[in-house]
Structure 1
Amino acid sequence: MKKGLQPSEQTYWPVYSLVTLSAVACYLNGLGGDFVHDDIPAVTLNRDVLALDSLANVFKNDFWGTPMVQPESHKSYRPLTVLTFRFNYLYFGLQPVWFHATNVTFHVISCILFAKVCLEVTGLKSPLAALGGVLFAVHPIHTEAVTGIVGRADLLAAVFFLLSLLAYHGQTTTDDRVWTSVLYGALSMLAKESGITVFLVNLTYDFYLHWTYVKRAIFDLKPNSEAASFAKRFTKVGVSTAILLTLRLTILQGSLPKFSEQDNPAAFHPSFHVRVLTFCYLAAFNMWLLVYPSNLSHDWQMGSIPLVTTLNDPRNFLTCFFFGGALLLTAKCLFDIENHRRAPMVLGFCLLMFPFLPASNLLLTVGFVVAERILYLPSLGCTLLVVLGIQELLQNYYKNRQLIACCVLVLIIGSFLRTFIRNKDWGSRESLLAAGLQTLPHNAKMHYNYANFLRDSSRTELAKSHYYTALKLWPSYASAHNNLGTMLDNDAEAEWHFLAAIRASANHVNAHYNLGKLYRKSNRTYESEKMLRKCVQVDCKFTPAYLELAKLQTVPDWEVSHFLRKVIELNPSDPHYAALFGKWVLNKSYHRLGLQYFWKSLRVSPSYRCALVEVLKLFRKLGQKSRLFQMITRWHIIKRHKNVISRNVYLQDWNLKNELKTKAKIYNLRSELNNFTISYRVDKQSPKPKYMANNITSYMVGHMLDNL
């Protein structure tokens, strides 16, 4: 035996190899998927991930890149997960395959650690531990966590969760194991909030194992070293948990996240008994998904699961069955607490129940009814209980072991195939939405999202149909009213939908903005100004509203100037708005002020075409030929060196790929790029030809030729 190598590590390598092979094979076809669903706002549009802001902001913002201090923050604080996204981007750019590969790697690590828990903590034999690792690796409920990139939060939390469990209950007996466990638990919480439940699992399982000594010390008044040692561990973990919870509550900045009725309808129902019945049923439904994950969806909002309003609802049988089973399991574990025969079952029950508590709506309201990726941690307990059940069957019905083995093999193959097929659904936005509609055709949000996709693909009529379906299922769906209004040719009908969106959501910024644009187009200037001013009142950072207000004829010049300056202030890194204001003041004959803002635009982007053209026009008008020539020379130098890789080259590459993909769908691959085509137009009033070009080089050469 090699020095320093534990016997278990050398003996169990076939178990870990089999688990690794199963996990990798199961998710191999998911590596080619794109950014879909929540991946887009959490990764591709997140400034913390794209390294556009300082590293310190990762620890100040929520998971979606919004500062925790802002009221609109989601309050999900997961800096460790965001850091892994950031490293993915810095090393590989926005190439989805590497994000997926990292997720699969974390899933493999979780599977290996779970097999290690089965071996070292529960004491299962190698074949059963391998079976547990394989069943966990291929469980279909994990597809959202593994194939969906934002599911990395659950994967990373599970890795540190299991490390904490192994540090606390593993074979090592060092004095620092409790503090090591606390450290891993804290890291799990920084990956996802539910990771903190590992402390509850550790203490409960520890209490169960040492109940005999604790009872002797408390009830029989016979102090012993085992009870004293447990008390020390309990104190360390309890104080650490209290400190971490206090810090987490402090990070919330004194406010909880705000959710709407469409996110969690039961939480907004006025009847207490309806809320209780529905929340209990949702808990049972989540557990049912762990046992029988046949119908899976990436979104369960907006009436996907109707409220349980009466006691005679048939769904209450599932609730009673689940809670009855949980009570029987608890009673069985408590009856055997003296001899510890059910210790692995206790651990499985703790792993099933405690990580699910934060999502159960029992402690605090959450923004979803069902979310498959939050079941990643509870599935540890479900898998362990299934393996223990198989162990019981083999012990009691050993003669039928071949039949049991065949059933287990069918379970593994079925789970593998279901996961393999489900991975394909996560391959693209279209396939995910189509699969969601097939599973939940009565989900209003699913129709809304699919309509958005169809609109982006220029399939207008079909998009309208799905918007109408979404509104039929959820009449007060403000965003569906708004988006449908933007697609209608009938102004009166469009106005009705915009007003319906405002009635459903009084602070719906886009509805106010679109209605203001509609009124401006219809020459209803007063009403347009009223809507647009309401828009900026609701959101003082909404740039398009300021631009629309600046176009209104009733707005005085001093206020137009104020609006355009405000836009520049809100978008300091965008050269377009400084150039826009410069052009406006230039039309007012303020040449020097216009030139000042053109220079400001060029400082942001030295090769910005609009600002360059306006500066060249101004130099030509003022007769400053030498400065005109210097600007042309400067532009050529910039263009010559523009092929140097910038820090955002991967972001530009991903944006370009998606832009071209969208254009290909819109034009059906019949359009061609003509970015460098030069068109000529002869001015009848002048004997000299004027060159009008799409290419900026030709445009400036034309100006230079006119001045020769």
Structure 2
Amino acid sequence: MSRFALTTVGIAVLAAALHCGTINNELTFDDHWAIERNPNTARPADLAAHFTSGFWGPGYLKRDAAWRPLTTLTLAWNRAAGGLDPAGYHAVNLLLHALAAALVALLGRALGLRDEAALAAGALFAVHPVHVDAIAPGVGRADLLMAVLALAAGLAWERRRPGVAAGALALALLAKEMAAGAAAALAWRAVTRPDRGGRWRWALPLAVAAAWLAARYAVLGALGGAHPGPLENPVAHAGLAARLWTAGHCYALALAKFVAPVTLLADYSYAAVEPATGPTAVAIAGWALLATTIAAMVLAARRRPELSAMLAWWLAPYAIVSHLGPTLPMWFAERVLYLPSAGLCLAVGWAVGRAAGARQAVARAAGAAVAVAIAAFSVRSAVRVGDWRDDVTLHAKTVEDAPRNVKALANAARDAASRGDAGAALALVRRALAVRDDVALPHLAAASVYAQLGDAERAAAHLDRALSMPHDLATAAETRCAVLARFRPDVAVPACEAATRAPFAGPDAWMFLAIAYDRTGDPARAEAAFAMALDRAGAPSVTLAYNYGIFLLRRGRPADAVAPLARAAALAPDRPEIARALADARAAAAARR
């Protein structure tokens, strides 16, 4: 095996080893919707279900405008092999990231980079902190799988194997729609490379993309465009000028995250970063940088076609999420930089290669700069992996770094209420409402918090306010169920039954249905509903374990209650009511022996 091959393997190992801490992380954030609550991930053999549904499942078909059947299939295979154990999903993601890093090095060499320069590009890609947003969550599978297949298509394209490239590109498009940018990058390369392999070769990747677009339209009934709420993408329904300034702002932000990934966020919804609706300094700088990058790509096409191709690998995939095309489901996300950043890493490798051919001092300085960047990025990535340990940690970190993020504040408020910290929960929900009280989410969070604190009047008031606004049906149904189960169990039973039938019904709906059944004197149905909740819970839940234990204790089954109460106590050792219930269960169980 050559030194280049050995080093490429080493880069793959580095990529996996640096992020191996994710193996111990829970499923977090969007994983609950894309994996745990998505009925398609429980159907590994039902190809029709995967190819005729949107990414988030049948219930979100018309709303989401994402069609990624290959990704959902791999998630379903994960679930078939290991259930909802997070380790399996994380292990596959690690493998895909390792492959992607190796492919960046191989593609760099195929594009004409010196071995050292290609390896530098691969190593930079392997350790870049902005990639943690794609590697750490299970839902990042879409970006990882798409990138591996798109880079494989690029490598086959450089090796003059157009059939293999077309097949890999088709699979990449079935993994995530951003691969349409890879199709454009391949077409650009066919037009600009010195040894063009046929007059119409550029048309092949575009034909593959056109076929995919037709299939996507047949399933979703739309060529593109999501329907996000005002928090997820504040400029989704704004005018052309606001979207153009936003495009400049986001381009500047993307480059800043690549160069200096200091502050990283799992969620850029309102108001993590204030959207640019006018000619701000950042937006103007972004447009200037974008124009410069495009000009560099075009001007390099004749004399430096390899550099032009690398910049195309950055610009073309990024264009899909640039706010210059269809409406996006989010304002910005770090994970969408996963494939585009490969182009920038390759461009850095190209610069390193040029420096290596210059004076010795320049070569040494370039090598030292890359080494320092790789070391610094490695440390930042390792720290960032820990931020994704679980929902509570991720929500708290997001609030710390983006204190006006309404979604993060609402999520952190629910977390605080679940662990019995009433003061923190109320403070967080009030902060969320202070930022935006004209959208449903903070009111749903307030209703949930006040319900857990036993304040029926305020819980009902915020619930009514939320239901009077456009809202997420699943979240609203579960919150209504939770409020009624605590204060009106007779009314809660039909409401909670409806919530469990809603698309993406999660474990909370079943748990509160169980509580409602129990409080209306139907313990058999209550236990069955608890069983459904436990079956759908992908991660340990203090609230679910505690409520199930209390149910068993009240039904005169203290020995059975010990296990769930012990689990709740281990998850929340600072909650005295859980410790008391566990002690009571153990004492009662011992007395019956």
Instruction: Pick closer, same or farther for the CA change 1:178–1:401 going to 2, 3 Å.
Output: closer
Deviation at 1:612, TM superposition (A): 12
User: Distance in 2 between the 1:185 and 1:261 partners?
Assistant: 34
Give matches, 1:42-191, under 5 Å. 42-51=34-43, 54-67=46-59, 70-71=61-62, 73-120=63-110, 122-170=111-159, 173=160, 177-191=161-175
Partner of 2:296: 329
Say yes or no: does 1:277 pair with 2:245.
yes
Give matches, 1:125-524, under 5 Å. 125-170=114-159, 173=160, 177-210=161-194, 229-231=198-200, 233-254=201-222, 257-270=226-239, 272-311=240-279, 313-334=280-301, 337=302, 341-488=303-450, 493-505=458-470
Partner of 2:560: none
Deviation at 1:64, TM superposition (A): 2.0
Instruction: Pick closer, same or farther for the CA change 1:237–1:17 going to 2, 3 Å.
Output: closer
Instruction: Pick closer, same or farther for the CA change 1:141–1:481 going to 2, 3 Å.
Output: same
Identity of aligned residues (%): 21
Question: Structure 2 counterpart of 1:378, which letter?
Answer: P
Q: Cα deviation per residue 1:643-663 (whole Å; 9 max; x = unaligned)?
A: xxx9x9986896689735555
Deviation at 1:284, TM superposition (A): 2.2
Partners of 1:300 and 1:370 within 8 A in 2? yes
Give 3-state SS (helix, strand or coil) of 2:7's partner.
helix
User: Distance in 2 between the 1:507 and 1:11 partners?
Assistant: 54
Partners of 1:47 and 1:65 within 8 A in 2? yes
Give 3-state SS (helix, strand or coil) of 2:40's partner.
coil
Partners of 2:429 and 2:442 within 8 A in 1? yes
Partners of 2:481 and 2:499 within 8 A in 1? no
Q: Cα deviation per residue 1:316-347 (whole Å; 9 max; x = unaligned)?
A: 3422441242244135314xx1xxx3122111
Partner of 2:557: none
User: Distance in 1 between the 2:500 and 2:386 partners?
Assistant: 44
Partner of 2:555: none
User: Distance in 1 between the 2:92 and 2:541 partners?
Assistant: 24
Partner of 1:641: none
Partners of 1:201 and 1:347 within 8 A in 2? yes
Question: Structure 2 counterpart of 1:426, which letter?
Answer: W
Partners of 1:15 and 1:126 within 8 A in 2? no
Partner of 1:625: none
Partners of 1:499 and 1:511 within 8 A in 2? no
Partners of 1:194 and 1:355 within 8 A in 2? yes
Give matches, 1:6-25, under 5 Å. 10=2, 12-25=4-17
User: Distance in 2 between the 1:376 and 1:507 partners?
Assistant: 28
Q: Cα deviation per residue 1:223-279 (whole Å; 9 max; x = unaligned)?
A: xxx6xx232x23444433322211111111348532111111112235x32232122
Q: Which one has a larger percent helix, Structure 1 or Structure 2?
A: 2
User: Distance in 1 between the 2:473 and 2:527 partners?
Assistant: 38
Give 3-state SS (helix, strand or coil) of 1:453's partner.
helix
Partners of 1:78 and 1:193 within 8 A in 2? yes
* TM-score normalised by structure 1 residue count: 0.69
Instruction: Pick closer, same or farther for the CA change 1:609–1:422 going to 2, 3 Å.
Output: same
Give 3-state SS (helix, strand or coil) of 1:670's partner.
helix
Question: Structure 2 counterpart of 1:248, which letter?
Answer: R
User: Distance in 1 between the 2:477 and 2:22 partners?
Assistant: 41
Instruction: Pick closer, same or farther for the CA change 1:510–1:345 going to 2, 3 Å.
Output: closer
Deviation at 1:521, TM superposition (A): 10
Partners of 1:502 and 1:512 within 8 A in 2? no
Deviation at 1:546, TM superposition (A): 2.8
Question: Structure 1 counterpart of 2:71, which letter?
Answer: T
Deviation at 1:89, TM superposition (A): 2.2
User: Distance in 2 between the 1:110 and 1:441 partners?
Assistant: 34
Question: Structure 2 counterpart of 1:169, which letter?
Answer: E
Which has the larger displacement, 423-432 or 504-513?
504-513
Deviation at 1:290, TM superposition (A): 1.6
User: Distance in 2 between the 1:94 and 1:497 partners?
Assistant: 33
Question: Structure 2 counterpart of 1:347, which letter?
Answer: A
Instruction: Pick closer, same or farther for the CA change 1:314–1:656 going to 2, 3 Å.
Output: closer
Deviation at 1:124, TM superposition (A): 1.5
C-alpha RMSD of matched pairs (Å) = 4.0
Q: Cα deviation per residue 1:141-171 (whole Å; 9 max; x = unaligned)?
A: 100111122111111101110111112211x
Instruction: Pick closer, same or farther for the CA change 1:101–1:514 going to 2, 3 Å.
Output: closer
Give matches, 1:531-546, under 5 Å. 544=492, 546=494
Q: Cα deviation per residue 1:94-151 (whole Å; 9 max; x = unaligned)?
A: 222222111111111111111111112x111221111111111001110011112211
Which has the larger displacement, 323-332 or 452-461?
323-332
User: Distance in 1 between the 2:256 and 2:338 partners?
Assistant: 14
Question: Structure 2 counterpart of 1:194, which letter?
Answer: M
Partners of 1:103 and 1:152 within 8 A in 2? yes
User: Distance in 1 between the 2:349 and 2:382 partners?
Assistant: 22
User: Distance in 2 between the 1:612 and 1:140 partners?
Assistant: 45
User: Distance in 2 between the 1:577 and 1:432 partners?
Assistant: 28
Deviation at 1:370, TM superposition (A): 1.0
Question: Structure 1 counterpart of 2:101, which letter?
Answer: C
RCO comparison, higher one (Cα < 8 Å, 6+) = 2
Question: Structure 2 counterpart of 1:160, which letter?
Answer: L
Deviation at 1:11, TM superposition (A): 5.4
Deviation at 1:377, TM superposition (A): 0.4
Q: Cα deviation per residue 1:281-320 (whole Å; 9 max; x = unaligned)?
A: 1122122212221110000001222232443x32234224
User: Distance in 2 between the 1:567 and 1:519 partners?
Assistant: 12
Give matches, 1:572-583, under 5 Å. none
Give 5+ residue unaligned stretches, structure 1: 1-8, 214-225, 533-543, 549-563, 588-597, 599-607, 614-645, 680-692, 699-708
Q: Cα deviation per residue 1:499-528 (whole Å; 9 max; x = unaligned)?
A: 4324433897876997899899999xxxx9
